[in-house]
Amino acid sequence: MARSTDPRAIPLRPPVYHILLALVRHDLHGLGIADEVDDASEGAVELGPGTLYRSLSEMAEAGLIRTVAAPDAETDPRRKYYAITPEGRGLLALETARLGRLVETARARNAILEQA
Amino acid sequence: MTERQGGGHERAFRALLRVYPTWFRDAHGEEMALLFMERVKRAKGPGARARLWWRVLVDAGETAAALRRRDPRGGGMGMGTLLQDLRYAARHLRRSPVFTAGAVALLAVGIGANITVFTVVDSLLLRPPPWAHPEEVVHVYQDSDDGEPGASAYPATRDMAASDAFAAVAATTVGSVAWGGPDGPQPVAIEYTTSSYMEVLGQSAQRGRWFGPEEDVPGSGLVAVVSAPTWHARFGSDPDVVGRTVRLNGQPLTIIGVGPEGLTGTYTPLLTDFWLSISSTIVGGPYQVQNLELRADHWYDVRARLAPGVTVQQAQSAMDALAARLGQEYPEYDRGRGITVFASKDVRVHPQGDGDLFAGGALLSAVVLTVLLLACANLANLLLVRGLSRSGEMAVRSALGAPRGRVARLFLIESLLLSALGGGVGLLLTRWALAALPSLPFGDVFGGTLDLGIDGRVAIFSVGLMAITGVLFGLAPAIRSARTDVAQALRDDRRGGSGGRGATRLRSLLVAVQVAASLVLVLGTGLLARSLRALQTLDAGVDVDRIAYLRADWSQSGVEGEAVRVTLDEILQRMEAIPGVTRAAVVSRLPAQGSGSTTTEVEGYTPPAGTAAVELPFASVTDGYFETMGIPLVAGRLFDDDDVPGGTGVAILVNETAARRFWGDADPIGRRMRGQGSESWTRTVVGVVGDVSVSRLGEPPRPMFYFSTRQRTAPPSYVVVRTDGDPAALLGAMRQEMARLSVTVGVNAQGTLAGHFGETLATPRLAARAMGAFSALALLLAGLGIYAVVSFSVARRTGELGIRMALGAERSWVVRMVVREVVGVVVAGILVGLALAAFGASRIAGLLYGVDALDPIAFCGAVVTLLAVAWVAAYVPARRAARADPVEALRAS
pLDDT digits (tens, 9 = 90+) for B557-584: 777 778 888 899 999 999 999 999 999 9
Per-residue confidence band for B76, with pLDDT thresholds at 50, 70 and 90: very low
Is the distance from CB of B236 to CB of B169 less than 8 angstroms? no
Closest to B498 measured CA to CA, from B197, B206, B799, B78: B799
A34 contacts on B by Cβ (under 8 Å):
35, 38
Torsion of CA B665, B671, B673, B679, to 10 degrees: -140
Q: What is the pLDDT of residue A5?
A: 63
Model confidence pLDDT, tens digit, residues B492-532:
544 444 455 666 777 788 888 888 888 888 888 888 888 88
Identify which has the larger pLDDT, A62 or B69: A62
**Yes or no, beta carbons of B62 and A46 under 8 Å apart:** no
* B169-178, B432-441, B468-477: range with lowest mean pLDDT: B432-441
pLDDT tier for residue B341 given thresholds of 50, 70 and 90: very high
Q: How far is A50 from chain B (nearest CA, A)?
A: 5
Please check whether residue B321 touches A, CB under 8 A.
no
- Angle at Cα B389 formed by Cα B386 and Cα B395, nearest 5°? 115
Query: Residue A116: what pLDDT?
Result: 39
All residues of chain A having their beta carbon less than 8 Å from the beta carbon of residue B59 are 48-51
B12 part of contact set with chain A, CB < 8 Å: no
Say which of B35, B59, B63 has its CB closest to residue A31: B35
DSSP B101: H
pLDDT value, residue B648: 65
Helix (H) or strand (E) holding B252: strand B251-258
pLDDT band at B479 (very low <50, low <70, confident <90, very high): confident
pLDDT of residue B4: 53
Q: How far is A75 from chain B (nearest CA, A)?
A: 14
Question: In chain A, helix, strand, coil percent, each to 5?
Answer: 50, 10, 40
Q: Please judge whether A48 and B69 are an interchain contact, meaning their C-beta atoms are less than 8 angstroms apart.
A: no
Strand B274-277 vs strand B184-193: parallel, antiparallel, or unpaired? parallel
Average pLDDT over residues B834-849: 81
Question: CB–CB of B796/B482 below 8 Å?
Answer: no
Chain A: residue nearest B30 by CA?
Answer: A78
Distance (Å) of CA B340 to CA A48, B300, B317, B323, B330 = 86, 14, 9, 9, 18
Cβ B298 vs Cβ B242: under 8 Å: no
Asked if residue B357 lies in contact with residue B149, where contact means CB atoms within 8 angstroms, the answer is no
Cβ atoms B779, B522 nearer than 8 A: yes
- Whole-number Cα distances in Å, B379 to B363, B405, B425: 24, 21, 17
- Residue A4: is its pLDDT beyond 50? no
The least confident of A73-82, B173-182, B402-411, B677-686 is B402-411
Residue B678 confidence (pLDDT) above 80: no
Complex ipTM, two decimals? 0.89
Dist CA B694 CA B704 (whole Å): 7
Q: What pLDDT sits at residue B443? A: 39
CA gap B877, B886 in Å, rounded: 16
pLDDT band at B295, cuts 50/70/90?
confident
Angstroms from A104 CA to nearest CA on chain B = 33
Check if B688 contacts A (Cβ < 8 Å). no
How many whole angstroms separate alpha carbon B857 and alpha carbon B73? 66
Q: How far is A115 from chain B (nearest CA, A)?
A: 31
Model confidence at B613, pLDDT cuts 50, 70, 90, reads confident
Q: In this structure, which long-range contacts are made by residues B349-358, counting pairs with CB atoms below 8 Å and at least 24 apart in sequence?
A: B349/B124, B349/B267, B350/B301, B351/B139, B351/B141, B351/B148, B351/B149, B352/B148, B352/B149, B352/B150, B356/B846, B357/B124, B357/B125, B358/B125
Question: pLDDT tens for residues B350-393?
Answer: 777 777 778 778 888 888 888 888 888 888 877 777 766 666 66
CB-CB neighbors (< 8 A) of B401 in chain A: none
**How many residues would you count in chain A?**
116
Bridge partners for B170 per DSSP: B303
- Widest distance between CA atoms in chain B: 126
In chain A, which residues have their Cβ closer than 8 Å to the Cβ of B13? 49
Mutate to test the interface with B, among A3, A6, A53, A59 (most CBs of B within 10 A): A53
* Whether the model pTM is above 0.95: no
User: Comparing C-alpha atoms, which of B607, B587, B586 is closest to residue B703?
Assistant: B607
Q: Does residue B446 carry a pLDDT above 60?
A: no
Which of A5, A6, A51 would best serve as a mutation to test chain B binding (most B beta carbons within 10 A)? Answer: A51
Residue B56 to residue A49, Cβ atoms within 8 A: yes
What is the C-alpha to C-alpha distance for residues B772 and B644, in angstroms, rounded to an integer?
55
Range from A34-38, B242-246, B476-480, B648-652 that averages highest in pLDDT: B242-246
B735 in contact with A at a CB cutoff of 8 Å? no
Q: At what angle do helices B3-16 and B45-70 cross, to 10 degrees?
A: 20
Rounded Cα distance, B339 and B46, in Å = 96
**3-state SS string over B691-759?**
CCCCCCCCCCCCCCEEEEHHHCCCCCCEEEEEECCCHHHHHHHHHHHHHCCCCCCEEEEEEEHHHHHHH
With contact defined as beta carbons under 8 Å apart, do B68 and B21 qualify? Answer: yes
Identify which of A98-102, B435-439, B849-853 has the greatest average pLDDT.
A98-102
Q: Model confidence over B141-175: pLDDT tens digits?
A: 998 766 778 889 999 999 999 999 999 999 999 88
Pick from A5, A76, A80: CB nearest B66: A5
Does position B54 have pLDDT exceeding 50, yes or no? yes
Measured distance CA(B292)–CA(B157) in Å, rounded: 10
Closest CA to B810 of B881, B876, B892: B881
Q: What is the DSSP string of A7-61?
A: TTPSSPPHHHHHHHHHTTTS-EEHHHHHHHHHHHTTTS----HHHHHHHHHHHHH
Answer whether the bond into residue B727 is a cis peptide, omega within 30°: no
Q: How far is B31 from chain A (nearest CA, A)?
A: 6
Show residues of chain A in contact with B33, CB under 8 Å.
Answer: 49
Between residues 1 and 40 of chain A, which touch chain B (CB distance below 8 Å)?
1, 5, 29-31, 34
Q: How far is CA B388 from the centre of its chain?
A: 39
Least CB-CB distance to B56: which of A5, A48, A54?
A: A48
For residue A16, the one-letter residue type is V
CB nearest A54 (choices: B33, B58, B66)? B66
**pLDDT tier, B258 (very low <50, low <70, confident <90, very high otherwise):** very high
CB distance A46–B63 less than 8 Å? Answer: no
Terminal Cα distance for chain A, rounded: 45
In chain A, which residue's Cα lies nearest the Cα of B35?
Answer: A31
- The answer to whether residue A76 neighbours chain B at the CB level (below 8 Å) is yes
> Which one has a higher pLDDT value, B656 or B814?
B656
Distances (CA, A) of B271 to B58, B253, B417, B450, B792: 68, 20, 37, 5, 54
Residue type, B607: P
Q: Tell which wins on pLDDT, B145 or B690.
A: B690
Burial class (CB in 10 A: 0-12, 13-18, 19+), B88: middle
Rounded CA-CA distance B488/B391 in Å is 9
pLDDT band at B676 (very low <50, low <70, confident <90, very high): confident
Are B31 and A34 an interchain contact pair (Cβ–Cβ within 8 Å)? no
DSSP B631: P
Q: What is the mean pLDDT of chain B?
A: 82
* Cβ pair B128, B343 in contact under 8 A: no
Nearest residue of A to residue B42, measured between CA atoms? A35
pLDDT value for B447: 44
The 10s digit of each residue's pLDDT in B710-757 is: 887 778 889 999 999 999 999 999 999 998 988 888 887 788 998 888
B629 pLDDT more than 50: yes
Res. B81 pLDDT band, cuts 50 70 90: low
Distance CA B377, CA B373 (A): 6
Distance CA B418, CA B97 (A): 12
Q: What is the mean pLDDT of residues B318-337?
A: 88
The answer to whether the Cα torsion of B632, B634, B640, B644 is positive or negative is negative
pLDDT band at B459 (very low <50, low <70, confident <90, very high): confident
Q: What pLDDT shows up at residue B220?
A: 86
In A, minimum Cα distance to B485 occurs at A1
The per-residue pLDDT for B484 is: 57
Q: Tell which wins on pLDDT, A1 or B625.
A: B625
**B605 and B663 Cβ atoms separated by less than 8 Å:** yes
> Looking at residue A3, what is its pLDDT?
41
The most confident of the ranges A81-90, B60-69, B500-509 is: A81-90
d(CA B676, CA B671): 16
Which of these, B255, B238, B237, lies nearest to B247 by C-alpha position? B255
Segment B81-110 mean pLDDT: 80
User: What would the pLDDT profile of B197-210 be if each residue is shown by its tens digit?
Assistant: 999 999 899 999 99
pLDDT over threshold 80, residue B605: yes
CB of B884 closer than 8 Å to CB of B811: no
For testing contact with chain A, the best of B25, B32, B55, B68 (most A CBs within 10 A): B32
End-to-end CA separation in angstroms for chain B: 30
Average pLDDT over residues B432-444: 62
Residue of B nearest to A49 (CA): B32
Nearest CA in chain A to B19: A50
Average pLDDT over residues B274-280: 94
Query: Which residue from B388, B196, B294 is spatially nearest to B795, judged by alpha carbons?
Result: B388
